[in-house]
Structure 1
Amino acid sequence: MDPVAALRRIAFLLERALAPSYRIRAFRTAAAQVAAMAPGEAERRAAEGTLEAVKGIGPKTAGVITEALAGQVPAYLERLEREATETAVAEHEAAGGVDGRLGRVASPGALALRGALRGDCHVHSEWSDGGATIEEMAVTAAELGHEWAVLTDHSPRLTVARGLSPDRLREQLDVVERLNTTWAPFRLLTGIECDILEDGSLDQEPELLDRLDLVVVSVHSKLRMERRAMTRRMVAAVRHPRANVLGHCTGRLVTGRGRPESEFDAAEVFAACAESGTAVEVNSRPERLDPPRRLLREAVAAGTLFAIDTDAHAPGQLDWQVLGCARAAECGVPVDRVVTAWSAEQLLAWTREGRVPEAAATG
């Protein structure tokens, strides 16, 4: 077995299971070190027992490399593969008091909806608060079968997440343009997760927003704002001509110490989304699962579009979409109103010109 592939697969599975970042980093670092070795060096070091002399390779990663070079599936990888992802995530959900039964996660409706998806509108990289390079995120998305994904690192105001200044965003646009020449037919679209400021305006220069393929708008500050003021704030944002997706609308966290939902008039916000053509995000992160089922059903009744997204901050988290699909299927989200089930061309016709596929427009 290729040791680099084994190390990367372990990191992927750990990311998907929300393992500590230091543990994930150890395997990704070791993979990079082995990939950089001259031909035959890994084999020689394994035979001599000197793998751990290489900076970034420790006892556990050295063991994985040695077993892989011996033609074995490393025991650590084998154990992770045996642990069903759905079971691990269900345990995270249950810990937060959310129904996470395996049957819901892997229902036929959820799997059919997941099979219809072509992309992901909400992906982060190490340019802001993600844990992997743009290349790693894009390559993993393609490996998972995506036709496209949208890179949506944070906007400047979110300094705790290293939000991108206008100059850094311009630099990132150039990087994505260059990288896209190597990935066809997969395509990485340009975007941002733009903070909704207290007055409902968006946290980025208008000229830059116009250059992006897609804009996710999210509340990250003053989450306990008074209900009426929060409603006005969110309505103003989703009606902005460059807003395409309303991200994790309640801001809740359902694991660990948790965080309560922001209070707003959901009927008014979802009506504004439906009127303006802004999609409501079904956020698949197991600690968010946002919006709650009651609000998701309300958005369906309001006639909004939907984006089933991972909000991934690491490659393994790109595999979480089935969790959002489970809740979307349970709440009756029609597949023809799911923008992540559209082709890149259909998505861009919607974000740039307001055109939606005929089935979605009449569905």
Structure 2
Amino acid sequence: MDGHVPSGEPSPGAAPGPVEALREIGFWLERSRAETHRVKAYRRAADIVAELTGDERAAHRRARSWREIAGIGPKTAAVIEQAYDGSVPRYLTELRRAAQPIGVPGKPLRARLRGDLHTHSNWSDGGSPIEEMMRVAAALGHEYCALTDHSPRLTVANGLSADRLRKQLDVVAELNERMAPFRILTGIEVDILGNGALDQAADLLAELDVVVASVHSHLRDDSATMTERMVHAVADPNVDVLGHCTGRLVEGSRGTRPESTFDAEVVFEACRAYGTAVEINSRPERRDPPARLLRLAVEMGCHFAIDTDAHAPGQLDWQGYGCERAVANGVAPERVINTWPLENLLAWTRSPGA
């Protein structure tokens, strides 16, 4: 967003220009999980204004004729006019005020995070291109960020076949050349199948920097079945992170969903023994694992990854919510693998049974 990404604590600051204001509105809308079509309207308007010549902008300012441009409606036109008048657009002010800030206890841990290990792009069910996601991650202060689009079995999320994943690796390699020293980590959110197997070829998983394994199907399996599935997955030497372990939903447009049942002591002991981090999923509708399980994982000596599971750039700012929950439940910063320098993190993910 023109080099500026708002944080979870908006401040008035100087009035932004129209392009910056429109893009920041898109950011706050994404952060609040607004409908995609609303976000796209502001992004599209920002792109349109950015592509106008100086003379074209000046002419529209004088005539206040922004609505005559295809792709700019009354709401986006009002933002443009108010920004050009030298004030913070009213809608932007409202969104800044409505943004839920990161609680004070979570701030020191958030400052220690060097990256995010669970994000999605429009290659699967995310809403934005890889480069846009990663440039926002870098602007938020990350040194690295893992791209973990879904595996093929999750067709509803446009999961990546082996061929599509290999093509994505080529795209990531090219972006890494242009975005250095920021590093895009290659990865996947691989589905844990009904028998505990992973939904991607083992040799391809071995090539990736970060593998997040998650259950997305048969969430109501009995406890013994679910426990066996999860233990089988976290014991796989290619798996680095156990994603949103209970699968619960506590709010949001998808409604609520109860936790899956499993023997948490057995699963977390497997995570500890086989070097698989337990994810603290920062999505507001997940807040997974629940506090009692998070405390149990701490007691059992697990490592953790505080991730956003972001599907849009604005959602990358949710990480502070996970930090709040980590601090509240006694997670030590040194046990959080994405507080580690890149070389330490990669040494850990590439070491079977770390």
* TM-score w.r.t. length of structure 1: 0.90
- Paired amino acid for 2:281: N
Q: Distance in 2 between matches of 1:247 and 1:329?
A: 19
**2:134 is aligned with 1:135:** no
User: What is the total number of aligned residue pairs between the two structures?
Assistant: 337
1:101 is aligned to none
Query: How far 1:56 sits from its partner (Å)?
Result: 2.1
Equivalent residues of 1:42, 1:51 under 8 A apart = no
What is the percentage of aligned positions where both structures have the same residue? 59
Pairing partner for 1:149 from 124, 145, 148: 145
2:292 is aligned to 294
2:69 is aligned to 54
- Paired amino acid for 2:180: A
Moved more, 33-42 or 320-329: 33-42
1:8 is aligned to 23
- Paired amino acid for 1:201: A
Q: Distance in 1 between matches of 2:90 and 2:58?
A: 19
2:104 is aligned to 107
Q: Deviations over 1:78-137 (max 9, x none)?
A: 221222423xxxxxxxxxxxxxxxxxx5133x1111111110000111111111111111
Equivalent residues of 2:211, 2:241 under 8 A apart = yes
Unaligned runs of 5+ residues in structure 2 are 1-15
Moved more, 190-199 or 75-84: 75-84
- Paired amino acid for 1:341: T
1:350 aligned counterpart, secondary structure: helix
1:188 aligned counterpart, secondary structure: strand
Query: How far 1:339 sits from its partner (Å)?
Result: 0.6
Q: Deviations over 1:286-331 (max 9, x none)?
A: 0000000000001011111100000001111111111111111011
1:216 aligned counterpart, secondary structure: strand
Counterparts of 1:310-349 in structure 2, within 5 Å, are: 310-349=308-347
Could you list the runs of 4 or more consecutive aligned residues of structure 1 that deviate by over 6 angstroms after TM superposition? none
Moved more, 245-254 or 4-13: 4-13
1:7 aligned counterpart, secondary structure: helix
Q: Deviations over 1:47-91 (max 9, x none)?
A: 3333223332111111112222333221211221222423xxxxx
Q: Alpha carbon RMSD of aligned pairs, Å?
A: 1.4
Q: Distance in 2 between matches of 1:208 and 1:37?
A: 44
Q: Distance in 2 between matches of 1:154 and 1:222?
A: 17
Q: Distance in 1 between matches of 2:30 and 2:64?
A: 29
Equivalent residues of 1:16, 1:85 under 8 A apart = no
**2:95 is aligned with 1:80:** yes
Moved more, 56-65 or 262-271: 56-65
Pairing partner for 1:278 from 257, 276, 281: 276
Q: 1:154 to 1:324 in 2, by over 3 A?
A: same
- Paired amino acid for 2:43: R
Counterparts of 1:213-232 in structure 2, within 5 Å, are: 213-232=209-228
Query: How far 1:354 sits from its partner (Å)?
Result: 4.9
1:191 is aligned to 187
Q: Distance in 1 between matches of 2:86 and 2:63?
A: 17
2:5 is aligned to none
Q: Distance in 1 between matches of 2:57 and 2:177?
A: 32
1:350 is aligned to 348
Q: Distance in 2 between matches of 1:208 and 1:113?
A: 33
Equivalent residues of 2:32, 2:99 under 8 A apart = no
Q: Distance in 1 between matches of 2:259 and 2:353?
A: 32
Query: How far 1:3 sits from its partner (Å)?
Result: 1.7
Query: How far 1:355 sits from its partner (Å)?
Result: 8.9
2:39 aligned counterpart, secondary structure: helix
Q: Distance in 2 between matches of 1:354 and 1:232?
A: 20
